Amino acid sequence: MASYSTTDFKRGLKIMLDNDPCSIIENEFVKPGKGQAFSRVKIRNLKTGRVIERTFKSGEKVEAADVTDVDMQYLYNDGEAWHFMDPESYEQVAADEAAVSDAKLWIKEQDECIVTLWNGNPISVTPPNHAILTVSETDPGVRGDTASGATKPATLESGAVVQVPLFIDIGDVLKVDTRSGEYISRSKE
């Protein structure tokens, strides 16, 4: 089994911790004047998304996690799993609800997503930063109101609810930022 020493630690390194794959966010080297050195590390659990702090004695070894990020196309949801395909190898994977998590609110069929695989199995899905989605439900648009800055909620075809300007109507196609969940503009697509 591959392993890393604390001297290999850097942002983005994938390690196993408490039997879960994790990614190092921050690594701080701590040492008293003389004596034992330590690495104080901020780590994200890639399954739960939770961030924890852990301290390691310098030189300690930890198991490497076999984690890769793959660009994949979202195919369909069969009611239980979300299916993705690697457009190069045509290989398909099925992600469960825990892995898809909030990403499911932003993706529609054929969107390019980043699927994080641990030992070949999907553990998380990152939607494209910008999604193009059609409004499926909102209050009737107020024509001409492009300046007041007032907003209303709109439900998108994928299920996400975003705050939009008052002039937006059902059937409008919007560009939204999936990281902040914010409306960017109407889309011409």
Q: How far is the CB of 13 from other proteins (least distance, A)?
A: 14
| 24 burial via Cβ count (<10 Å: 0-12, 13-18, 19+) | buried
- DSSP 3-state assignment of 157? coil
In this structure, the dihedral spanned by the alpha carbons of residues 58, 64, 65 and 70, taken in order and rounded to 10 degrees, is 110
The neighbour count for residue 42, using CB atoms within 10 Å, is: 15
Helix (H) or strand (E) holding 175: strand 173-177
Nearer to other proteins, 16 or 95 (CB): 16
Site residues (CB under 8 A) for other proteins?
7, 28-38, 40, 52-59
Nearer to other proteins, 7 or 180 (CB): 7
Rounded CA-CA distance 187/76 in Å is 23
Q: How far is the CB of 118 from other proteins (least distance, A)?
A: 22
Nearer to other proteins, 57 or 179 (CB): 57
Q: How far is the CB of 113 from other proteins (least distance, A)?
A: 25
Nearer to other proteins, 44 or 186 (CB): 44
